[in-house]
């Protein structure tokens, strides 16, 4: 099949953002933008060998090593067979180590759901979505908490300067 299939999605966590891009069997699939704490990730899938790369490197080289299995979670939860005919490219920028990891995993999960909705069938998409949400809701839903801005009359957002009577 020479036609290109593509889907684009995004996800965020704090200030990191990841974009997912996926190509399947000669079809292009642009995927997720997801983020955490300033990180920005871009995600993509190529026609078929089941490879997953982050910034051009294999998933097995993702740093920090202690958070590597956080990136593997969407793959392991839905099953590696769902990724067998898909090569995934992830681009991530901004944020810290942890925020980038969470941005990548959310981008992968959301773009897989979007691909299944657009090019496979609704029932398969619902099964994948249910499995991901049951495991960890943050794989699909971004955390909207942000730092509260400082106000006048105090050193921080809520703290006030000490009052003196004399």
For residue 19, the domain's CATH number is: 3.30.230.10
Domain that holds residue 54: 9-139
Look up residue 62 and give its two tokens. Answer: 């993702």
DSSP 8-state secondary structure symbol assigned to residue 116: H
> Ranked by mean pLDDT, which of 13-27, 44-58, 75-89, 145-159 comes out on top?
145-159
Contact (Cβ atoms closer than 8 angstroms) between residue 16 and residue 90: no
Is there a domain that residue 155 lies in?
A: no
**Position 41 in a domain:** yes
pLDDT at residue 86 in the model: 74
User: Mean pLDDT highest for which of 6-20, 30-44, 113-127?
Assistant: 113-127
Residues 74 and 58: their CA atoms lie apart, in Å, by 16
Residue listed under structure tokens 């593509």: 6
146 domain residue, yes or no:
no
Would the pLDDT of 126 be above 90? yes
Examine residue 165 and state whether it is found in any structural domain, yes or no: no
Does pLDDT of 35 surpass 80?
A: no
Residue 14 resides in a domain: yes
Query: Which regions of the chain does DSSP assign to beta strands (E)?
Result: 9-13, 16-24, 29-34, 39-47, 52-54, 57-58, 86-94
Instruction: Tell whether 49 is covered by a domain.
Output: yes
Going by pLDDT thresholds of 50, 70 and 90, the confidence category of residue 130 is: very high
Q: Indicate the burial class of 114 (C-beta count within 10 angstroms; 0-12, 13-18, 19 or more).
A: buried
Partners of residue 65 on adjacent β-strands = none
Query: If DSSP codes are grouped into helix, strand and coil, which group holds residue 134?
Result: helix
Long-range contacts of 118-124 (CB under 8 A, 24+ apart): 118/5, 118/7, 119/5, 119/7, 119/24, 119/27, 119/29
Residue 160 within a domain? no
Query: 150 lies in a domain?
Result: no
pLDDT (0 to 100) of residue 63: 86
What is the rounded CA–CA span in Å between residue 75 and residue 108?
8
pLDDT of residue 66: 92
**Number of domains, the chain:** 1
Kindly report, residue by residue over 36-91, the tens digit of the pLDDT: 555 555 555 445 677 778 888 888 898 888 999 999 999 899 988 887 777 778 88
């Amino acid at each position: 099949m020479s036609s290109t299939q593509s889907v684009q999605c995004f996800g965020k966590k704090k200030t990191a953002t990841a974009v997912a891009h996926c190509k399947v069997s000669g079809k292009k699939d642009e995927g997720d933008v997801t983020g955490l704490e300033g990180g920005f990730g871009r995600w993509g899938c190529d026609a078929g060998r089941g490879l997953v790369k982050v910034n051009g490197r294999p998933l097995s080289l993702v740093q920090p090593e202690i958070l590597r299995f956080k990136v593997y979670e969407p793959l392991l939860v839905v099953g590696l067979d769902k990724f067998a005919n898909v090569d995934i490219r992830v681009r991530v920028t901004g944020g810290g180590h942890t925020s980038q990891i969470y941005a990548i995993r959310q981008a992968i999960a959301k773009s897989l759901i979007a691909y299944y909705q657009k090019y496979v069938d609704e029932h398969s998409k619902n099964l994948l979505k249910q499995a991901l949400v049951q495991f960890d809701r943050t794989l699909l839903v971004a955390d909207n908490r942000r730092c509260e801005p400082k106000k006048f009359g105090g050193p921080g957002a809520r703290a006030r300067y000490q009052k003196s009577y004399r």
